[in-house]
Amino acid sequence: MGDEGSFGEWLRAFVGQQLVYSDGLALRFLYEGVDVGVLDSFLSAQLLAREVREASLKMGGRLLEIGGEVFPSGELEEYRDLVRAGLASGHQPLAFGVIARSLGVPGEMALSAYLFATVTSLTQNAVRAIPLGQNAGQRVLRQAHDVVAAAVKDVAQLCWDDFGAVSPGLEISQMRHERQRARMFMS
């Protein structure tokens, strides 16, 4: 990855081949009433790359903490209690989903917001790391609107058996990334 085009291709693949089948389905199933503890266990088992799993837990933990202060709800407190008791890990998409659902945000809107926030974060990192530059980053984000809209439609068509069916190539790359000697950002 060395320019706007290659980053845009990678981002499309990441959203369509990983986020849809992991975080996206977790959010949808949460909204459909699947127990948050069950979803949390599945996400923990599916996130093979250590750094990806740890990042999900760090971000989820912060979101649970901040959400508990800013948007307190019984549902959020129940998930926080599971995490505190060691019965759940506190994954980011589930923390986001619990907060969004408790605020009355419709599922499709919550999924779209979560995916676009993830895309934005990755693009901000690429602007600095590749470096892309601000204008290229904004062009990538504009194109990402269509990628996210397609991903939301894809998530709606999938079933439980698709949950966790991510691209092994992306996972292998993530595991290789863990072993690099020098890096600019924490994963």
Residue 33, both tokens: 């009433």
pLDDT in tens, 67-107: 999 999 999 999 999 999 999 999 999 999 999 999 999 99
Mean pLDDT of 109-119: 98
What confidence score (pLDDT) does residue 175 get?
53
Q: What is the CA 131 to chain-centroid distance, rounded?
A: 23
Nearest to 130 by CA among 184, 181, 52: 184
Q: Is the pLDDT of residue 16 over 90?
A: yes
Distances (CA, A) of 21 to 16, 93, 152, 155: 8, 12, 11, 7
Residue 67, both tokens: 């959400």
What confidence score (pLDDT) does residue 151 get?
99
81 occurs within a structural domain: yes
182 occurs within a structural domain: no
pTM of the model: 0.88
187 occurs within a structural domain: no
Domains held by the chain: number: 1
Q: Which position has the token pair 């990855």? A: 1
184 occurs within a structural domain: no
Instruction: Identify the band that residue 54 occupies on the pLDDT scale cut at 50, 70 and 90.
Output: confident
What confidence score (pLDDT) does residue 181 get?
61
Mean pLDDT of 97-121: 98
Q: Which position has the token pair 């969004």? A: 100
Distance CA 77, CA 51 (A): 26
pLDDT in tens, 148-180: 999 999 999 999 999 998 866 555 555 565 656
Distances (CA, A) of 113 to 110, 151, 163: 5, 12, 20
Residue 165, both tokens: 């069916």
What confidence score (pLDDT) does residue 183 get?
47
What confidence score (pLDDT) does residue 108 get?
98
Domain that holds residue 62: 4-177
Distance CA 81, CA 168 (A): 33
CATH of the domain at 55: 1.10.4190.10
Instruction: Identify the band that residue 187 occupies on the pLDDT scale cut at 50, 70 and 90.
Output: very low
71 occurs within a structural domain: yes
